[in-house]
Homo-oligomer: A and B are copies of this chain.
Amino acid sequence: MFENIRNREFYPQWNEKPPANGTYRSIFKWGASDKFKHPNRRLFRMIKQSFSMTDADFQKRLKEGNEPVKCDIPIKLSSDQISTFKNIAGEVNVSTDDYQRVKYSNGKTMEEAMLLRNQLVGNVADVVVHPRSIEEIGAIVIYCNEQKIPIYVYGGGSSVNFGVQCTKGGVSLVMQTHINNVVELNETNQTITVEAGIMGPDYEKVLNEAPLRFNSQYSYTCGHFPQSFEYSSVGGWVSTWGSGQQSSYYGDACDLVVSQEYVTPKGRLRTLDYPATATGPKLNDIMKGAEGAFGVLVRVTMKIFRHMPQNRRRFAFIFPDWISAVNAAREISQGQFGMPSVFRISDAEESDVALKLYGVEGSILDHAIKLRGFKPNKRCLCIGHTEGESNFSANVNKKVDAICKQNRGMFLTAIPVKNWEHGRFNDPYLREDLNDYGIMIDTLESGVTWDNIHNLHQGVRAFIKKRSKTICMTHASHFYPQGTNLYFIFIAKMSDINEYRAFQRGVIDNIVKFGGSLSHHHGVGKMIAPWMERHLGTQQMDVLRALKQHFDPNGIMNPGGTMGLEP
């Protein structure tokens, strides 16, 4: 506000209108329809400069997708088939209208947003079904298997790799509408059993309020907070092998899942919920991250954790360079004192942006950083916090502090991480604003061993930066003794879909070429599936295909390319 009055410089009129019901924009817009996060003035200035844009480029928004959704793709199912679904799930829970068909066949990729903005619709379900019970899902799977009708499972819909695209038509099975109940909190075992469609915030609320709701001794937390937390489902977390922003301490979604229940074309299956067994390869493992290709995940039992936010200790450091930041992060990950919960290091390009976003630029801290001689385009930011039992958390914080300082890190107070926390789930809202003015923003991520982190970072960056006027920001945000992940964010003035596709595919190519894993926590879907064979090799792919053949001999579960399982 103050900045607005003082500054007479131009600042765009970002779209602040909730998209009307039934429009394309209401489908591709991230999150709540009435919630926004606009680029702040510093970021706006940087964008103009990076892409040689002028104020004139921000006078008028381009195609915004405010038109009502139309879908001309014919429904391939017969009216008998549609009636059968209505008989199973109830008339009101079965829809063939254009809007539902498009909405429940799209995830949140840049590509889908670009297409929908241009009123381009493809790969849609014939029918959308909101089953009311697991029994109904059982009946639907049996019927679809008989009739060879494809089934696509829609959890929260936040897939960024065409995970929910209904490539072969058929049914989009929406889990979040009714399959979202809490089955049981088991405080003795420190587990909760829920239906797969329960959404992140509802799930966490139940756990936080456990003493009230279940008369439990403690309040709990789920420990899994991906950026998509507010708009993703617990079943989706497990199905895509997701990792939350606090995974370095809590583990990823598949570390947290104790047992799973599936409805598959081959029958129903509930894995055992022992804390450990030695009875051969575990079905709970074999089903992890199967992305709906083996069956419908209907229920999960998850580990939970005591909720002790009072023990959180926050830290931020700035390092003179990326190598120092990586060295500190590796030492922390291998130090055997436990791990911080949130923990992120940003490369030089991202750090300069982060300092703008997290309230450091222009502050007294900024002054101190300059005095220390840490240079823009070199210095690297690290933020994080610790959790767990009080002394444990304090000791991790103390060790992080010592190791960062040994690696020439400078303490930056808790301000940057507090600012990060404030907006931790909101960055995806920025995309619509940028897209409105023809600016593409996208991300790809990869798991990497410590001995290959610099090679991967440099290799992928070199590819991205070869394109002029392209921002490439990278961070590592999930840490293990054996390695970490690299998360690449690339931004450019780009609205041609073919140019975008070629460029984005080029980034994936280079991730594989420079030895990163094909995905660290976004999953595979149908988007990066074409690289699976090259990445895993035919021997490993054949095993996944054998499992697919076992569970789904008619190929009805998420068909059309998921994980590269089809011939």
User: Judging by beta carbons under 8 Å apart, are A546 and B547 in contact?
Assistant: yes
Contact of A274 with B by CB under 8 A? yes
**Does A364 sit within 8 A of B, measured CB to CB?**
no
Contact B539 A550 (CB under 8 A): no
Chain B residues, CB < 8 A from A539 = 266-269
- Kindly specify which of A105-113, A386-394, A491-499 makes contact with the partner chain: A386-394
A281 with B547: in contact, given A268-B539, A275-B483, A388-B336 (CB under 8 Å)?
yes
Interface assignment of A481: CB less than 8 Å from any CB of chain B: yes
- Count of this chain's copies in the oligomeric assembly: 2
The residue from B258, B280, B334 contacting A190, defined by CB atoms under 8 A apart: B334
- Chain B residues near A482: list those with CB within 8 A: 189-191, 258, 273, 275, 303
Q: Which of A293-340 contact B (CB under 8 A)?
A: 293, 303, 305-306, 308, 330, 334-338
Chain B residues positioned under 8 Å from A449 (CB to CB): 188-189, 273-275
Q: Is residue A56 contacting chain B, with contact meaning CB distance below 8 A?
A: no
Interface with B: A79-87, A227-235, A282-290, A467-475, which one?
Answer: A282-290
* Distance to closest chain B CB from A80 (angstroms): 31
Partner of A337, one of B242, B293, B388, B522: B388
Min CB distance A328 to B, Å, is: 14
CB-based contact A540/B278 at 8 Å: no
A524 to B280: give the CA distance in the assembly, Å: 7
The answer to whether B540 touches A269, judged by C-beta atoms less than 8 angstroms apart, is: yes
CB distance from A309 to the nearest CB of B (A): 13
Residues of B within 8 A of A522 (CB): 278
A155 to chain B, nearest CB (A): 15
Known: A243-B276, A391-B399, A449-B275. A336 touches B191 (CB 8 A): no
Contacts A266-B542, A391-B399, A550-B543 given; indicate if A288 touches B281 (C-beta within 8 A): yes
Cβ-based interface call for A241 (8 A)? yes
Residue among A190, A279, A338 having the largest count of chain B Cβ atoms under 10 Å: A279
The 8 Å CB contact of A392, one of B189, B273, B392, is B392
- Taking the closest CB of chain B, its distance from the CB of A521, in whole angstroms, is 5
Whether the Cβ atoms of A536 and B279 lie closer than 8 Å is: yes
Pick from B398, B483, B544: contact of A280, CB under 8 Å: B544
| A480 proximal to B (CB < 8 A) | yes
The CA-CA distance from A484 to B190 in the complex, in Å, is 13
CA distance A544 to B272 in the complex (A): 14
Stretch among A412-420, A502-510, A512-520 lining the B interface = A512-520
- B392 pairs with A543, CB closer than 8 A: no
Shortest C-beta distance, A254 to chain B (Å), equals 9
How many whole Å from A273's CB to the nearest CB in chain B?
7
Query: A72 contacts the other chain (Cβ, under 8 Å)?
Result: no
**Shortest CB distance A299–B (Å):** 15
The answer to the question of A240 belonging to the interface, with a C-beta cut-off of 8 Å to chain B, is: yes
Asked if A336 and B392 sit within 8 Å, CB to CB, the answer is yes
A241 touches B536 (CB 8 A): no
Within 8 Å CB of A542, what residues of B? 266, 550
Select one of B186, B293, B536 contacting A272, CB under 8 A. B536
24 cross-chain CB contacts under 8 A: A186-B451, A188-B450, A189-B483, A190-B482, A241-B279, A242-B278, A252-B276, A266-B542, A275-B480, A278-B289, A278-B520, A279-B523, A280-B290, A280-B563, A281-B290, A281-B547, A282-B289, A283-B540, A303-B481, A306-B336, A391-B395, A392-B395, A543-B547, A546-B546
Give the top 10 A-B pairs by smallest Cβ distance, nearest first.
A275-B483, A337-B389, A241-B278, A275-B480, A546-B550, A285-B285, A275-B482, A274-B447, A188-B451, A277-B517
Given contacts A240-B278, A283-B536, 20 further A-B contacts (CB under 8 A): A186-B451, A188-B449, A242-B278, A273-B482, A274-B447, A274-B449, A274-B517, A275-B481, A276-B447, A277-B518, A277-B520, A279-B518, A279-B532, A281-B288, A282-B289, A303-B481, A336-B387, A336-B388, A337-B389, A389-B399
